[in-house]
Amino acid sequence: MRGLGVVENHSTAFEWYMKAAELDDIYGIFNVAECYYKGDGVERNEALAFEWYLKAASRGDLQSQVNVANAYYLGQGIEADHQKAYLWYREAAFQGHILSQKNVGAAHWNGDGVEKDVAESAFWYELAAQGGDPQAQFAIGWFHMTGTGVEKDERIGLKWIHRSTAQGYQPAIDYCKENGYRVY
């Protein structure tokens, strides 16, 4: 909505996004949702934003899947439903979305929207850790250090925790200091 070569007009941009959405264009659908969510060119409306995000998410749009999961989790534009949030986070996690992988791991750890399953939690945290998330790196490191959900292996655990500390993740730094490990 930058107005390249024309005067910037968010209302007109919204109209064009809507025309594209009515033609079932995934980018048009996503952008209509964004406009409703942000109140950009149209009055802010979380319920309508959710409806449009859901349309795009159902067609496989990754960011829309994350937005639908967040909406269900937080109750934005729709009644909160952690089971549905979990399912949408899992869809996005399967597409490689790192934060969603971490959220699926947390859901299994806490039994939030899904049955508590420590081994499944470790699996998803490790995927997010491999993607570079420092919180997930610390979590999977702790899993390995304690043998929670995985085979106990302090060498692997410290490797993950040190990757987390290298990114400045304070709980990992504190863990190392409290347990006599070097901080990288």
For the chain, which residues make up each domain, given as ranges?
A: 9-95, 96-179
- The burial class, CB within 10 Å (0-12 / 13-18 / 19+), for 151 is exposed
Q: What is the pLDDT of residue 2?
A: 59
Q: How many CB atoms lie within 10 A of CB 110?
A: 12
Backbone angles phi, psi at 49, to 5 degrees: -60, -45
Same fold, 9-95 and 96-179: yes
Q: What is the pLDDT of residue 3?
A: 59
The fold adopted by the segment(s) 9-95 is: 1.25.40
Secondary structure of the chain: what % helix, strand, coil (to 5)? 70, 0, 30
Q: What is the pLDDT of residue 106?
A: 98
pTM over 0.85: yes
- For each of the chain's 184 residues, which pLDDT tens digit applies? 555 778 889 999 999 999 999 999 999 999 999 999 999 999 999 999 999 999 999 999 999 999 999 999 999 999 999 999 999 999 999 999 999 999 999 999 999 999 999 999 999 999 999 999 999 999 999 999 999 999 999 999 999 999 999 999 999 999 999 999 999 8
The fold adopted by the segment(s) 96-179 is: 1.25.40
Q: For all residues of the chain together, what is the average pLDDT? A: 96
Q: What is the pLDDT of residue 7?
A: 86
